[in-house]
């Protein structure tokens, strides 16, 4: 398992807030959008989105284009290459959340 895969496991299944990050990435996989749209689509408040977006950017799971309020977020090429692992973590994280 490479470093990026370890980071994915940590951020998307092994830490607090993983379910929110999984939901954000799932939305970005459908269509690149800004933070305001992510907030509406995920039903998370804007500050929560800001926090998780910052973590995902710092760990190269997503990238941003544009400036200020026009910033749009996309999946990184690294995450795109590991989409099968993301789908596995998505299923595991959602399953665990549904059991609660």
Strands 62-65 and 72-75: antiparallel
Quote the pTM value. Answer: 0.88
Asked if residue 90 has pLDDT above 80, the reply is: yes
pLDDT in tens, 6-33: 999 999 987 889 999 999 999 999 999 9
Domain ranges, residue 29: 3-99
In sequence order, which residues have a C-beta less than 8 Å from that of residue 15 and are 6 or more positions away?
none
Structural domain total, the chain: 1
- Mean pLDDT over all residues of the chain? 91
């Amino acid at each position: 398992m490479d470093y990026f895969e370890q980071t994915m496991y940590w951020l998307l299944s092994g830490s607090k807030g993983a379910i929110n990050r999984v939901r954000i990435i799932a939305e970005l996989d459908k269509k690149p959008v800004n933070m305001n749209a992510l907030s509406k689509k995920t039903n998370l408040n804007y500050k929560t989105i800001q926090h998780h977006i910052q973590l995902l950017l710092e760990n190269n799971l997503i990238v941003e284009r544009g400036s200020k309020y026009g910033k749009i977020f996309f999946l990184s090429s690294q995450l795109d290459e590991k989409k099968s692992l993301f789908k596995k973590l998505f299923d595991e994280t959602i399953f665990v959340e549904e059991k609660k």
